[in-house]
Structure 1
Amino acid sequence: MSMGEVTVRAADRPGDLGWVVMAHGELYAAEYGWAVERVTAGIVAAFAPGADAAWIAELDEHRVGCVFCVREDATTARLRLLLLDPAARGLGLGRTLVRRCVEHARAAGFSRLVLWTNAPLAAARGIYLAEGFVLTAEEQHDEFGVPLLGQDYELDLTA
């Protein structure tokens, strides 16, 4: 794929949060048959600008990815809703979004960053492991309408 103009910006424009819900719903249904829209909408509805942070990746001024960093408690932030449209994969945007979240959590004074993902998401897992996240737990669930292995990861931000 030829490299267009790539930008990562705060998710603060009209339509950004709606796009996150729509993109998750459409992409996960198409690629995996998962019903994630309700769960995604709940996460987006709980997003608190100022306390939490979110970014949108754009390719040629079109939204193609996102990530959220939300406060879990006084010492812990949670990486949520990492997504990259297939048209933008292979450009390093996934890694850029994860690093943006890690840098924000560290700068905000959190001592750890946690995340929850699912075993089939190998590309995301590769990014998390490359950034130093460690698998801390696994558990079967059917939250998205199919049996899945959920995985918890943690990154020590004080190291």
Structure 2
Amino acid sequence: MADDDGRRRSVIRRADRPGDLGWMVMAHGELYAEQFGWSTDFEALVAGIVAEFAAKHSPDAEAAWIGEVDGERAGCVMLVAGDEPGTAKLRVLVVTSAARGLGLGTGLVQESLAFAREAGYARVTLWTTANLTSARRIYQRFGFTLTGEESGHDFGHDLVSQTWSLDLSP
């Protein structure tokens, strides 16, 4: 379903359709296993994050989005309340291999940060791993800064966990 000029059409919408939350879990499990050889422990982590959102999210303070390309799910992100007042967490950002390079990841993060500002958050944090360089470039483009690193063994691999933070105050 390309535009008249042959470009692929992408949209970002709320993750409010049947199958959206399940797709988030499945996409993470499949993509991270394929690209990085990560175990199902990672899929289980994402499943827990998504399940908690599904069961408990506050629509005024938390939201999730799906990015579509030519009518097919191709990416997602979630913004949830953090552990500290005034802080939100950016969670489960992923873009499928076929949709990379279309600006979908940037659009998803932009949408979630606009929501965070509208919801009154002062700060957004996120957790990632050092090997996810494309995602890190997106975070840096929006002004996130690295606030912590820790080496460990997760999902069947030695990884460097990273915490990033963005101050939303004017």
Q: CA deviation at 1:49?
A: 5.1
Q: CA deviation at 1:128?
A: 0.4
CA offsets per residue over residues 54-80 of structure 1, 9 Å max, x none? Answer: 000001110000000001142000000
CA, structure 1 residues 3+49, in 2 after alignment: closer, same or farther (shift >3 Å)? farther
Q: Does 1:13 align with 2:17?
A: yes
Q: When the two structures are superposed, what TM-score results if normalisation uses the length of structure 2?
A: 0.90
Q: What residue identity is the alignment partner of 1:34?
A: W
Aligned counterpart, 2:129? 118
Aligned counterpart, 1:107? 118
Which deviates more, 48-57 or 25-34? 48-57
Q: When the two structures are superposed, what TM-score results if normalisation uses the length of structure 1?
A: 0.96
Q: What residue identity is the alignment partner of 1:10?
A: R
Aligned counterpart, 2:71? 61
Distance 2:101 2:8 in 1: 12
Q: Is this contact kept in 2: 1:114–1:153, CA < 8 A?
A: yes
Aligned counterpart, 2:46? 40
Q: Is this contact kept in 2: 1:3–1:91, CA < 8 A?
A: no
Aligned length: 159
Distance 2:163 2:121 in 1: 18
Aligned counterpart, 2:93? 82
Report the 3-state secondary structure (helix = DSSP H, G, I; strand = E; otherwise coil) of the residue aligned with 2:46: helix
Distance 2:85 2:15 in 1: 23
- Calculate percent identity across the aligned residue pairs: 52
Query: What is the RMSD of the two structures over their aligned residues, measured on CA atoms?
Result: 1.3
Q: What residue identity is the alignment partner of 1:86?
A: S
Distance 1:46 1:3 in 2: 37
Unaligned regions of 5+ residues in structure 1, if any? none
